[in-house]
Amino acid sequence: MPKHPRNPLVTVDVIIETGTGIVLVERMNPPHGWALPGGFVDYGESLETAAVREAREETSLDVILTEQFHTYSRPDRDPRHHTVSTVFIGSATGIPRASDDARSASVFTEETLPRPLAFDHDKILAHYFAYRRGQLNIQTLIE
């Protein structure tokens, strides 16, 4: 048995609803592409606190979390390492401004999503839009 077990890294992502769409950030660091605001949970930090912090750091928006959406855990979802991400839905007002490790931030609709999307965020957003249309019961989603 190894002395230091390898465990997945814990992350959070936030689907920020603005009233006119959802906020995505263009990543400054690899893997490049557009992504939901999010990142790693710090030691001693709750998932909710991490989600609000990461959203503020990357978009400059004060987000109010409204629900926990789903947890995504496929080992290949992040090409760098195995991550487990809990995705939240939240709301914010104002204009997103990129900060921290985001190159840019903008609001998109389902019809105007940019490409490429990083990680498994295309799947997460497909689930989210189906959920909002009433076509997906997130409680029964098993990957």
The pTM of this model reads 0.95
Confidence at residue 143, expressed as pLDDT on a 0 to 100 scale: 77
Q: Measured between alpha carbons, how far is residue 45 from residues 50, 113, 131 in Å?
A: 6, 31, 28
Confidence at residue 3, expressed as pLDDT on a 0 to 100 scale: 77
Please state the three-class secondary structure of 68-130 as a single string.
EEEEECCCCCCCCCCEEEEEEEEECCCCCCCCCCEEEEEEECHHHCCCCECCCHHHHHHHHHH
> 10-residue block means of pLDDT along the chain (143 residues)?
83 97 97 97 98 98 98 96 97 95 96 98 98 95 85
**Nearest-angstrom CA–CA distance, 42 and 134:** 34
Please give the domain boundaries of the chain with CATH numbers for all domains.
9-134 (3.90.79.10)
Confidence at residue 1, expressed as pLDDT on a 0 to 100 scale: 55
Confidence at residue 2, expressed as pLDDT on a 0 to 100 scale: 63
**Nearest-angstrom CA–CA distance, 57 and 116:** 22
Report residue 6 as tokens. Answer: 């390898």
Confidence at residue 5, expressed as pLDDT on a 0 to 100 scale: 82
